[in-house]
Chain A
Amino acid sequence: MTDQTLLVLPAGIPWVLAAVFALLDGRRRWVGRIAAVGLGVSFVSMVALALRVLRDGPVEVVAGNWPAGVGIVLRADALGVAFAVVSIGVMLVSLLYEVSLGMRSRTFPAVVLFMAAGLTGLFLTGDIFNFYVFFEVSVTAAYVLTSYRERDYQVRAAFIFAIVNLFGSVVFLIAAASLYHVTGSLEMQTVAERLGETSPNSAITIAVAIFVAFSLKLGLFPFHFWLPAVYVGSHPPVAAILSGALANIGSYGLLRFGGILPDQLALGTYAVLILGSASIIYGALQSISRSDVSEVLAYSAIGQAGYILLALGLGGPVGFSAAVIYAVVNSLNKALLFLVAGLRGPLVGAAFAVGALSVAGVPPAVGFIAKIAVFKAALAAGAGGGTAGAVGTVVFVTVIFVGGALSFVYMFQIYQRVFLAREPQGGHVEKPSPRATRALVGVLAALVLVFGLWPEPLLVLGEEAAAVLTGSPGDVSGGGDSP
């Protein structure tokens, strides 16, 4: 299979299937199953593409065989495939979850497939406006998904979600237009090259607009105000998709545009670090006394996003790879926890416990790898930095430690209240969820443990993705030297 085909397949399959399935009734069992198989094939091809990229370096195609920049450049590099694999994986599990429980909405499979196509395209494009288009496809699918269940408060939450996120889209569009104005190109690498000649002032305002747009998507403090309402009202697989797949747009966007605007990122380091730290503490603090599982998870998501931002601000190869690793691990955690939150029966509590341990950073769950990554980033930031560096290291290590300690408190308070105390004690037993659904979250929990015990693939992925951003030799394909 040629590289070009491999690059097109992951987004192409769900896109075509989605167009067909929009016309069919998703509640029919076979429709859901075929959709899941289609998304499965897309996932497999995505993994194959990821392996190819990790082995041979980035894969690039220009749509319509035009010169790069004239036509839209599609480029799969380690950073993009890392996010694409985990996002599609989370969506696949969520779709299977809904299939195994019995689909209650006609449009669910089609919308999930549309979102998968949008997300894959977004992670694999090398063109800023094309990025915006795929971004719109994904978030529009998300607007439809959040109104999936029809209770009034859910529709109200969906409305809040749509309004606030449309605002974010407009902000990003302003930034994209400005970037085109000052560089005359939409192709990411060309934009990055030409930005050096722009006045620092306009570059920084553009950078801030981009930062605001993606922070909003990721749900960072203080841009998070849409998030709790939406996650709490959502159906478990929808919440899992929003938190485990859609939110990746935010972390990916921050990283990708951080790579395009490195000088501006350096200039805004303090703001990024402060907001990241504030997010960690604020999210964790909010989570502690929440009594509903999904509410705890929603606020926890704000705190976890803070770690990603903190790692981004700490920067350098160690910081960027920490941000990627943290984002991937957080997706897995959130998908597992949101899906488990909707289930009852044997082993459900155990699966939740695995997720809780992972969020708290307790081995052998994979979360501890992510915690090590950010600790390393904080320690590396201080190396060779004199007194200021040492103070910075102490401050950030403390923030990460305190955030982790608080996550211990909130994850296990809610675990004890909801899962440990409620497991059947003879007498009254709640009706357990279907076995297939429980097995599915069991597989996800096992995955969280496996990557904790064998973290090497994750570390390599993080390292390669960071190399894309720092432009270390051997990993940047010349976007310019393609025909």
Chain B
Amino acid sequence: MTALSAAFSLAPLLPLLVALLAAPAAMLAGTLKPRLAAPVGTAFAALAFLATAFTWYRGGGTVDLAWAPTWGMRFTIALDGLAALYALLATGIGFLVLAYSSRYLPLHLDQEGRPEAEGARFYGFMLLFMGAMVGLAMAQDLVLLFVFWDLTAVASYYLIAYDRHDPDARASALMALLVTGITAVLLLIGALTLYATYGTLSVPDLAGSVEPGVTLTVAGLLIACAALAKSAQVPFHFWLPRAMAAPTPVSAYLHSAAMVAAGVLLLGRVYPLLEKSQFLLDVLLVVGLLSISVGAILALTRDVLKQLLAYSTISQYGYVVFLYGLGGEYGAAGAAFYVVSHALAKCALFLTAGAITEETGEDRLSRLGGLTKRLPLLAVASGAAAAGLAALPFTIGFFKDELLFEAALERGGLFAALSVLGAALTIAYTWRFWGGLFLGEGRDGAGSLPAALVWPVAVLGGLVLLGGLFVEPFALLAEAAGAASYGAPTPIEPAYHLDLRPTNLMAVGAFALGIAIVASRPLWERGALAVSRFGEVLGPERLYEWGVDALNRLSDYVHRAEVRDLRSRVAAILLPAGVLVGAGILVTPTVGAYRTGEVMRGDFPLLLALVVVAVAALTTTFTRRHVTLALVLSGAGFVLALVYAFLGAPEVTLVAVLVETFLTLLFLGTSKLIPYKVLHDQAKLPLGNQWRRVFFSCLASLFAFAVAWSALSQPAAENTVAEEHVRLAPDAHAQDTVSAILADFRALDTLGEVTVVALVILGVATLLNRGRLP
């Protein structure tokens, strides 16, 4: 019984699990048999849609599991209205797009001469995209949200670069990844800023505790930046038209239900935080308006089908952002409704563009037209979708504009006027797209499009019309989503009213203005082209390209400045080391820290020896010949051994003499082995930058001198461990302390040093035999 109830409490996981399993399932199927990837993937998308719908029908719910308790990160997912709306879009449109792809992709691969097996990769990433979107829609913990957020970026990266032999596709994918991936970090910083102040990452908890103030404004701005970049809003919009390098189904999905939708999804999710700051809402308002106009004007100038649609997407999501910026209940629910109706229409139009390019081999408006006779069903289906986008009556789109007008009216006349202008522009470019494709003179003859390229468009077109007649299901979903964002019920009553209410007048005004814009094309065309040209010359895309280029050049420049030869490499380390010691001396009190002690009469031999060592050390700096150098060095070494003798350390003296003898012999022997000419040439070092070398050497000497002097100025510590060693030596059964230390107290060190010697022998022997030891 308890097990059963436990299982039920985990029920909201079902849609996410199915959606996340889809990608591996399709990949696996595709590896076993390339042809299986498409049906398995499509079936999983359908299953995920059904699972989402079923769970939502059952009342949604929340699952809250510990994820990384040390950092307060929780695996919290909920199927609330907002999640349901986006998850249904991602899976439902995902299903249609995949069904379309099952026919489109083989044609695409065939045209490029690629094997069928590459399809598995496509379905894998499409479904990963879908799974990530479902997760993103359901995530309530901001870090969990960030994980799914970046997962969509990764999936889109591989999908845009799907034709990876094409340099343009790769560059576009990189651009999309950089723009959305780098801005995603802002989302993370925003989340962590909130966590640092409020101690929770859960959006509902934050909604309850966040107060207006600097923290909220900063964190909100960071999060909004990430969302706006993802939704391709001005000034981050430039990556989206470039992303059209992807195969058409990817574009359709990206624009309608995934990637770009993810941005406004995030806005909807964190809306409870954003709405507490009027400043943040105003930012959204301005960005939305800018995107509406830039997107629409550029859409009116583009000739390539997918480019036109891409700019239209920028403009349309501009409305959504604008709606969130307007705020209030109409804003929240209206934005959600807008996303649904746009998704249905835009997806259909993209799929239409793909089908037409498959049919005719052309992708430019100027070379297309009059296709109604050849493709009647496609013309009707996409006509319905276009009508939906243009917000004509009897389509779902009519209501999206009705809600927009209502929300705008609440804020005042200026916003109402702007939204009417925006709606008119939408009508203009939508007409340009559909009319340009299907009207006018065209060749007769039956089209040869496979059914799978047409029926998904027909389904979407049908849904657009259905929504125009029975708007309740969509309105309910949007209300639920709005309530999740707004935190209170957001009743919306989209309906047809046959009266002279303001929204109707605004709609009529928009139609009239739209027709006027279409009719007056010659009047404004040059102006629009000038705007487009201006964007190309000074726009953010130029800035991006200039930035990447400048970084590469700067990198080259810094790289050329790196040092190369051994002497400089050592010197480059000595310099900062010396500077750091100097800084250390500056920040600590030096009074009394450096002492010289007293010089006794008996110390003079010792001083003399030290002077000799110093002179020898100095001599090495200007000695040229290697043999001389070896002799000077060994001279310094032998005198140093003498110093140990003065200090009463006979063992050390013996060792030092032994080592010096060996070293001297080794140096002399080696220089005998090297051909005289090589030695002679090497000795003639260039004398340039001599002062720099002197400077480095002095600095390094000062560094060593300061460390040694300041340590030795300290009185030697009392109760040193050496006393313990002397006391305990008899216990170690040793005749003298040194033996006891070497062989017992610190035997591990001795063993280690023996190992070092063994390693050195091994290394030298390897080197001498060029790696070929017997």
Contacts and interface: CB of A to CB of B under 8 A. Distances in A.
Co-complex (A, B): yes
Interface of A: 15, 19, 22, 25, 63-64, 66-67, 69-72, 104-107, 110-111, 114, 117-118, 121, 129-130, 133-134, 136-137, 140-141, 143-144, 147-150, 155, 159-160, 163-164, 167, 171, 174-175, 177-178, 180-187, 194, 198-209, 211-212, 216, 222-223, 225-226, 228-229, 267-268, 271, 282, 285-290, 357, 360-364, 368, 371-372, 375-376, 379-380, 383, 397, 401, 404-406, 408-409, 412-413, 416, 420-421, 423, 425-426, 454-456, 459-460, 463
B559 A290 contact: yes
Nearest to A148: B771
Contacts of A225: 562-563, 568-569, 572-573
Contacts of B627: none
B593 A201 contact: yes
B181 interface: yes
Closest 8 CB pairs of A and B: A184-B717, A184-B720, A178-B711, A144-B763, A133-B752, A201-B593, A289-B555, A288-B555
Contacts of B554: 285, 288
Given A70-B724, A376-B196, A198 B714 contact: yes
Interface stretch (B261-269, B455-463, B492-500, B581-589): B581-589
Interface residues of B, number: 106
Given A130-B749, A426-B114, A184 B719 contact: yes
Given A202-B711, A222-B572, A207 B150 contact: no
B372 to A, nearest CB: 39
Contacts of B752: 118, 121, 130, 133-134, 136-137
Contacts of B572: 222, 225
A379 B71 CA distance: 14
Nearest to B592: A199
A287 B559 CA distance: 9
Interface of B is mostly: helix
B716 A181 contact: yes
B714 A182 contact: yes
B762 A408 contact: no
A286 B193 contact: no
B559 A416 contact: no
A129 B563 CA distance: 33
B714 A204 contact: no
Give the most central of A143, A160, A229, A362: most B CB within 10 Å: A362
B753 interface: yes
Contacts of B639: none
Given A147-B766, A205-B585, A412-B174, 4 more contacts: A134-B752, A185-B720, A416-B161, A421-B170
Contacts of A463: 70
Interface string B164-176: 1101001001100
Given A184-B721, A408-B182, A285 B707 contact: no
A117 B756 CA distance: 12
A245 to B, nearest CB: 16
A67 B143 CA distance: 50
Contact of B759 (A25, A67, A111, A209): A111
B718 to A, nearest CB: 7
Contacts of B762: 22, 107, 110-111, 144
B188 A371 contact: yes
Contacts of A194: 717
Given A204-B585, A459-B70, A106 B766 contact: yes
B150 A167 contact: no
B446 interface: no
A286 to B, nearest CB: 6
A67 B184 CA distance: 55
B771 A209 contact: no
Given A134-B752, A285-B558, A375-B192, A408 B68 contact: no
A139 B728 CA distance: 33
Given A148-B771, A149-B771, A202-B714, A408 B566 contact: no
B763 A201 contact: no
B147 interface: yes
B717 A200 contact: no
A274 B763 CA distance: 38
A67 B721 CA distance: 11
20 contacts: A69-B721, A106-B773, A111-B763, A114-B759, A129-B746, A137-B755, A147-B763, A155-B767, A174-B708, A184-B719, A184-B722, A200-B593, A202-B710, A204-B585, A286-B558, A287-B555, A364-B151, A368-B188, A406-B551, A460-B70
A199 B580 contact: no
B706 interface: yes
Given A174-B704, A178-B708, A409-B178, A372 B555 contact: no
Interface in B740-774: 744-749, 752-753, 755-756, 758-760, 762-763, 766-767, 770-773
B686 interface: no
Contacts of A375: 188-189, 192
Give the most central of A141, A144, A174: most B CB within 10 Å: A144
Given A106-B771, A288-B552, A204 B573 contact: no
Contacts of B772: 106
B593 A421 contact: no
Nearest to B161: A420
Contacts of B186: 401
A435 to B, nearest CB: 15
Contact of A69 (B150, B590, B724): B724
B588 A182 contact: no
B174 to A, nearest CB: 6
Nearest to B563: A225
A357 B150 CA distance: 10
A423 B114 CA distance: 13
A455 B70 CA distance: 10
A216 B119 CA distance: 49
A105 B766 contact: yes
Give the most central of B566, B724, B763: most A CB within 10 Å: B763
Given A199-B593, A205-B585, A222 B576 contact: yes
Contact of A372 (B71, B569, B728, B745): B71
B573 A362 contact: no
B204 to A, nearest CB: 21
B473 interface: no
B706 A205 contact: yes
Given A175-B707, A372-B143, A380 B196 contact: yes
A190 to B, nearest CB: 8
A351 to B, nearest CB: 14
Contacts of A117: 755
B548 interface: yes
Nearest to B718: A184
A227 B161 CA distance: 34
Interface string B567-608: 011101101110011011101111011100000000000000
